[in-house]
Structure 1
């Protein structure tokens, strides 16, 4: 990419980040182009679809989240790693309003620009779950798809203004239902 094109690309992304933070995943592509002081055609040349724009916006966050999963696989006990992963996901989900719904839709669509990121998150989740299951720390009757669905549901819930203040409690409820034992003294063993 030429230097001027790269500068334009970076500027559009910076402006888009602000607009999306303000308006969530429903942010207007026209509004982003207007605020970036470029034509809509220029925006679409860099980001031909809304999903392509979100992939570019989210790749840093998603790469960091996937890297966190790799670190958790070796540094924490399996149950703590899984709980920390879910908490990290919720933090990510609260970054941009509506992004979880986009990722849930892209999860099974290989043509989506977000598919690779969703696959990476799904894979990392499944590895952490399998590790916890192998140690007897997580329910044996669930798989990576189940965990991704629960994380997506939790991400959607904390995206709603009425549930934001309950995010920590909701994470605790979900992880308590997944883990057979938890690090919290008030949690009880989950059965079947």
Structure 2
């Protein structure tokens, strides 16, 4: 009996539509997925809780303490932040972003000199949060190597814009740079015995008074 040969479909090149569809599917698979609203709320609650706990109990505080304050389970904490360094970085970047993002609203609501002062006081609050993260940030862990650059990338241009506007209005002296001022405020906010955020705010207010002194006679910033 003659063997009946089975027909084998020929391989054909993918059509343009097929190729485009595959490419689109690949792009969708590579693109980061946006969190659902409930998941985003959990992340926000965890970051706020972690900021509070790190400020009072340090960065090595138990995960359950953070999760309980956020009102979620420990499993939810680890699902979003598998390593402690992930949580520390997220808290740091969130606070940097909040500080940078405050500048436009302050500029819109206040005169340039006052907007600058209010932003520097907002920056003072950020530095208080940063002290709670200090143990981790200065641990030498490579996970934190990019954070100083992130800090300057976000806050440097923000403060520079506020300074330029305040200087142009004649309210602030001209010979200080954003980098100088960021570090000057940070030095004023170093912990002292019996001091706290209120003490740091008073010191920063004195610094701003110094920036205003002689502003009308200072040369324009280049």
Show the counterpart of 2:199: 166
1:135 maps to 2:135: no
Aligned partner of 1:27 among 40, 59, 64 = 59
Show the counterpart of 1:178: 211
What is the CA–CA distance in structure 2 between the aligned matches of 1:151 and 1:101, rounded to whole Å?
Answer: 20
CA apart distance, 1:53 = 2.3
Show the counterpart of 2:190: 156
1:123 maps to 2:157: yes
What is the CA–CA distance in structure 1 between the aligned matches of 2:48 and 2:118, rounded to whole Å?
Answer: 29
Verify the 8 A CA contact 2:88 2:136 in the aligned structure 1. Answer: no
Aligned residues: 174
What is the CA–CA distance in structure 2 between the aligned matches of 1:86 and 1:153, rounded to whole Å?
Answer: 13
Q: CA RMSD in A?
A: 4.2
Show the counterpart of 2:112: 78
TM-score computed with the length of structure 1 as normaliser: 0.65
Deviation sequence 1:147-184 (CA, Å, 0-9, x none): 11112213324xx45222523321221111222369xx
Alignment partner of 1:63: what SS? helix
What is the CA–CA distance in structure 1 between the aligned matches of 2:177 and 2:138, rounded to whole Å?
Answer: 17
1:97 maps to 2:128: no
CA 103–148 in structure 1, closer or farther in 2 if over 3 Å, else same: farther
Verify the 8 A CA contact 2:55 2:129 in the aligned structure 1. Answer: yes
Larger radius of gyration: 2
Task: Note the residue ranges of structure 2 that are not aligned, 5 or more in a row.
Answer: 1-32, 68-72
Verify the 8 A CA contact 1:78 1:137 in the aligned structure 2. Answer: yes
